[in-house]
Structure 1
Amino acid sequence: MKDKNKIYIPLLLGLACALGIFMGARLDLSTSDGLFSENPKKQKLNRLIDYIDYEYVDDVNTDSIVDVTVNKILENLDPHSVYIPKQEYDAVSENMQGDFVGIGVSFYSVGDTVVVIQPLEGGPSEDIGIHGGDRILYANNAKLFGKNLSNDSIISQLKGEEGSKVSLKVFRKGEKKLLNFDVTRGKVPLKSVDAAYMLTNKLGYIKINRFSETTYEEFNKALRSLRRKGAREIALDLRNNPGGYLAEAINIADEFLKDDRLILFTKNKSGAIEKTYAQREGDFENGKVYVLINESSASASEVVAGALQDNDVGTIVGRRSYGKGLVQREMELGDGSAVRLTIARYYTPTGRSIQKPYEESNEKYYNDYLRRYRNGELQSADSIHVSDSLRYETPGGKIVYGGGGIIPDVFVPRNMDAEKEQILLLLNRGFMSRFIFEVLDKNRNYYNSLSSREFEEDVIINDQMVAEFTQYLRSQPPGINIKVGSYENLLKQYLKAVMAQQLFGTNTFERLKNEDDRIIEKVIQLSKEKS
């Protein structure tokens, strides 16, 4: 009997393995065939890629073919369904997380050396005393200078796991020896609230640059600080804010709306509606709010503006917003890449769809700014043409319109000519920042010794510095020639603001840059009129 068992056991095991392989093969085959038989388009695409991979005469990177294919598919859907390649995913995610892990410095590569512009507020480098102008020469004995050193290789040395340590050797002007710093890498905030300060003794100002994971927390902190300073009214600046996480926008709108007020609703392809209401007692439900928007305020920014406007709360000031009312969900594709796919549309409480038309072409959609510019909409509210069929009424009787973007309650024209546009372009493209860095670097000890108040009172941007800046621009390839003309004072204002940014951060930068800002001036005027 024992001998028979010795024969049967291996036989049974063999049969079991064979059956398992057979069933596995049948299961895999039937699953694949079932899937592809239901959708032959998927089968066609997969077969084509396999044919190219195995049969094509030359070696081809089929990953790149897949990337191109995915992009082409999404281009035919809507302008905001996008593909995020694997190599870009971390950077995109990091920007929306509200922080990253590293030593916490912004830097330039000057010549062949890493030079600190400034330690980032709340980061490890600020805590241990690294200054603007410091040259980081070594990180864990790895050279960080040399003509062939890329920004990516520098960043790879400075970033790392949270809690890990990096030893830096730093050259600082005026010091005879290299300085040694042992830095523990930690979370460095990527702030979405650029500024929070008082415009008048009762009117506070908060500037939000995007809606990231930490925006509501940052906003709440700023709001509490301004209330302690006496703010009974808030100017919420959402200009040039492209949007971000919808939940953060909802939380901010909730601070100004009483319980059970509708903030927005979404509608998907099947017509299912999901409504979102104010759910808690907000910190500013009884205060006045002004929301500042322009043609580059989009998505989550428009949710906030639309929710307040449709609930007859506050005043929307500026120009018609961008017009993005599509909701995306991020879906991973299994190889480190992802797609952000439009899954619904969102609507303001009165039922307005904020989304502007995109049916004709993506190119026409993205060139909508030029259309607005040419038809005069940026200069005059009378040039905004909206069909009367898109007319809505708020509970308080105010008339509002759909059809693309939020039309403000109080219009403020753009009215900028070519010279001012050119100065703003120089700011946005970093020319001012590079020039100011070199100015500061010539006299670091003096500038680093100044307090914010001393800087604002004592530092004057004179005609000589303007002349040096125009000469600097001419030295930049291919040679930039500007005519300062009547905008010399504006150029001086912006140069000083950029200097303040590198010395003291974005709050001082925004405050100095916002001097004589037309929309802010209008808000201050409205605040005084309603006193």
Structure 2
Amino acid sequence: MGYQKKYLPLIIGVTLAIGFWFGGLFRFGNNTPLLASAKKQKLNRLIDYIDYEYVDEVDTDSIVDVTVNKILENLDPHSVYIPEKNLAAVTESMNGEFVGIGVSFYLKKDTISVIKAIQDGPSEKVGIKGGDKILLANNDTLYGKKFSSEDVVKKLKGELNSVVDLTIYRPVTDSVFKVRVERDKVPIKSVPVAYMLEDRLGYIKINRFAETTYKEFKEELTKLQKQNLTHLVLDLRGNPGGFLDRANQIIDEFLEDDKLIMFTKNKKGNIEKFFATSKGSFEKGHVYVLIDEDAASASEIVAGALQDNDKGTIVGRRSFGKGLVQREMQLGDGSAIRLTVSRYYTPTGRSIQKPYKNQKEGDYYDDYAARYTSGELTDSTKIEVADSLKFTTPRGKVVYGGGGIIPDVFVPIKSNEEYNKVAFGVKTNMLDNFVFDVLENNRKHYHTFSRISFINDFEVSDKLLQEFKDYLRIKTRGELTVTTSEHDAYIKRSIKAAIAEQMFDLVLSYQIKDEDDTMINKVKELLEK
């Protein structure tokens, strides 16, 4: 009987969650299946009995949260529960903006240090700069206390058009001053970088497909077209997806009228097709889509639509393999779920969803190791394909379904073990933190560089290189120890790019990094041919 008592709260929680699930806490439009009134009353009585009669106090909310997660996990990997405390942040990210003062910051030694003021944000407009320390907000002391990042965000965010008086210390001039900042909408850019790589060849990076993504993309594309753009690199590497309709709008810029973009099918067999319209502005140009093993969902819709319509060239490695469509549904208590409601298919009829049934926990999302072990990340012939999932494009190109988009032109990863360690070090926040410390120690020197002089004259010294290697070794307790000079050029370029981002902007950082980008260099090679 002991085990029954131990697991009774969980059993109750599962019962409640199932009852809530089928009891209509969320709606499927006008097709919501509602339980009969007697069954709903039965569940209500059960909740009342637990609240008023059960021997122990039971936190039914937390139990329901856990069990709802477990229920969704048994459906598919992309049906997820979003608790109330997380929903606002998720919504902000997908809306493409938040209300605040517009700074990125670093908590160091119990002090809020500004990394940089966001371009065109409220803080930049009043003159706040990287390296400034925020001491007070409306006379509320913000230093010398053990705040978390979440605590700081709460202090600095607020209602639209509300005002906060900040006291700032600027180490470069050893001065303290006050500024009044009016909180405003601050963009969370999903298209952070766009520029011309060389004559007629442009580059646009898309991080995710948010509410504002098409608008951002269209603005950048128009700017590049005014610079005689004829070939475009569309970088979707690491892009986890987002809103399907924003992906379709972007595809429409490349495809001729009435070309099929994609279609969806639900469990009832209902099919919804999406076609290109007459508004495309880059139908005559050539597009190179960069993908990797982390490009998923809407990114794969873009790559698949262009590949199946024989438009452009897909460059990189096999994409993640997500072919399921979710819809967000409110649960009535401030939380929500994203429930898979259909599958999507590329124009040739491919489903690129990889298998997810009967997998061990974590294997679905973390299959990088399996791909590495199989050899497919370094050798395209090791990518497993099935003849039963073979499809043909209008021009006769063979493409495959069953687990991601296979690129037209394969670009392998570097398989050197030490390189992988170094790459991990420069892609985590360890590099950003190291660079922030470097700037903090000598901002007067770094502020002498203009954008042009930084590109042409600044070089990462051997001393700074060694300091970063030592930093990695110490921070990782010896796990990231670089013993050769084979990757020194890559590390120096990464350090310079990180300094450029914190001193100037992300565009300059990308320009520095992209000079040694294997996929971009492959595109340039294809152009030369």
- Pair 1:339–1:377, CA change in 2 (3 A): same
Instruction: Give the C-alpha shift of residue 366 in structure 1.
Output: 2.5
Give the Cα–Cα distance (whole angstroms) in 1 for the partners of residues 349 and 391 of structure 2: 8
Paired AA for residue 210 in structure 2? S
Indicate which of 93, 96, 118 corresponds to 2:94: 96
Question: Alpha-carbon deviations, 1:358-384, whole Å to 9, x = none?
Answer: 122363422433222111111111111
Q: Does 1:287 pair with 2:281? A: no
For 1:444, the equivalent position in structure 2 comes to 443
Paired AA for residue 120 in structure 1? I
Give the Cα–Cα distance (whole angstroms) in 2 for the partners of residues 59 and 357 of structure 1: 42
For 1:513, the equivalent position in structure 2 comes to 513
For 1:56, the equivalent position in structure 2 comes to 54
Question: Alpha-carbon deviations, 1:299-347, whole Å to 9, x = none?
Answer: 0000000010111100101111111010000000001000000000000
For 1:427, the equivalent position in structure 2 comes to 426
For 2:265, the equivalent position in structure 1 comes to 267
Q: Conserved in 2, the CA contact under 8 Å of 1:294 and 1:322?
A: yes
Give the Cα–Cα distance (whole angstroms) in 2 for the partners of residues 117 and 43 of structure 1: 55
Question: Alpha-carbon deviations, 1:212-242, whole Å to 9, x = none?
Answer: 1111111111111212222210010101111
Paired AA for residue 129 in structure 2? H
For 1:200, the equivalent position in structure 2 comes to 198
For 2:230, the equivalent position in structure 1 comes to 232
For 1:466, the equivalent position in structure 2 comes to 465
Paired AA for residue 409 in structure 2? V
**After alignment, is 479-488 or 292-301 more displaced?**
479-488
- Pair 1:47–1:499, CA change in 2 (3 A): farther
Give the Cα–Cα distance (whole angstroms) in 2 for the partners of residues 168 and 523 of structure 1: 48
Q: Conserved in 2, the CA contact under 8 Å of 1:352 and 1:392?
A: yes
TM-score where L is the length of structure 2: 0.90
Instruction: Give the C-alpha shift of residue 404 in structure 1.
Output: 1.2
Paired AA for residue 522 in structure 1? K
- Pair 1:481–1:341, CA change in 2 (3 A): closer
SS at match of 1:349: coil
For 2:489, the equivalent position in structure 1 comes to 489
Q: Does 1:329 pair with 2:327? A: yes
Give the Cα–Cα distance (whole angstroms) in 2 for the partners of residues 525 and 306 of structure 1: 23
Give the Cα–Cα distance (whole angstroms) in 1 for the partners of residues 425 and 350 of structure 2: 38
- Pair 1:39–1:118, CA change in 2 (3 A): farther
Paired AA for residue 343 in structure 1? V
For 1:401, the equivalent position in structure 2 comes to 400
For 1:373, the equivalent position in structure 2 comes to 372
- Pair 1:174–1:324, CA change in 2 (3 A): closer
Q: Indicate the structure (1 or 2) with the bigger Cα radius of gyration.
A: 1
Q: Which has the higher helix share?
A: 1
Paired AA for residue 523 in structure 1? V
Instruction: Give the C-alpha shift of residue 402 in structure 1.
Output: 0.6
Gaps of 5+ in 1: 1-30
Q: Conserved in 2, the CA contact under 8 Å of 1:82 and 1:341?
A: yes
Count of residues paired in the alignment: 497
**After alignment, is 311-320 or 508-517 more displaced?**
508-517
Give the Cα–Cα distance (whole angstroms) in 1 for the partners of residues 34 and 256 of structure 2: 50
Q: Map 1:109-128 onto structure 2 (within 5 A).
A: 109-128=107-126
Indicate which of 219, 239, 246 corresponds to 1:248: 246
Q: Aligned residues: percent identity?
A: 55
Paired AA for residue 503 in structure 1? M
Give the Cα–Cα distance (whole angstroms) in 1 for the partners of residues 143 and 483 of structure 2: 37
Give the Cα–Cα distance (whole angstroms) in 2 for the partners of residues 38 and 160 of structure 1: 43
- Pair 1:39–1:488, CA change in 2 (3 A): farther
Give the Cα–Cα distance (whole angstroms) in 2 for the partners of residues 418 and 450 of structure 1: 36
Question: Alpha-carbon deviations, 1:32-74, whole Å to 9, x = none?
Answer: 9x9555896x777666554443333332211100001100110
Q: Conserved in 1, the CA contact under 8 Å of 2:418 and 2:482?
A: yes
Q: Conserved in 1, the CA contact under 8 Å of 2:263 and 2:344?
A: yes
Give the Cα–Cα distance (whole angstroms) in 1 for the partners of residues 477 and 388 of structure 2: 51
TM-score where L is the length of structure 1: 0.90
Paired AA for residue 194 in structure 1? P
Gaps of 5+ in 2: 1-23, 26-32
Instruction: Give the C-alpha shift of residue 427 in structure 1.
Output: 2.4
Give the Cα–Cα distance (whole angstroms) in 1 for the partners of residues 165 and 153 of structure 2: 15
For 1:139, the equivalent position in structure 2 comes to 137
Paired AA for residue 86 in structure 1? E
Paired AA for residue 280 in structure 1? S
Give the Cα–Cα distance (whole angstroms) in 1 for the partners of residues 398 and 38 of structure 2: 48
Indicate which of 193, 209, 212 corresponds to 1:214: 212
Give the Cα–Cα distance (whole angstroms) in 2 for the partners of residues 480 and 256 of structure 1: 46
**After alignment, is 380-389 or 83-92 more displaced?**
380-389
Q: Conserved in 2, the CA contact under 8 Å of 1:111 and 1:147?
A: no
Question: Alpha-carbon deviations, 1:96-128, whole Å to 9, x = none?
Answer: 111111110000111011110000112111111
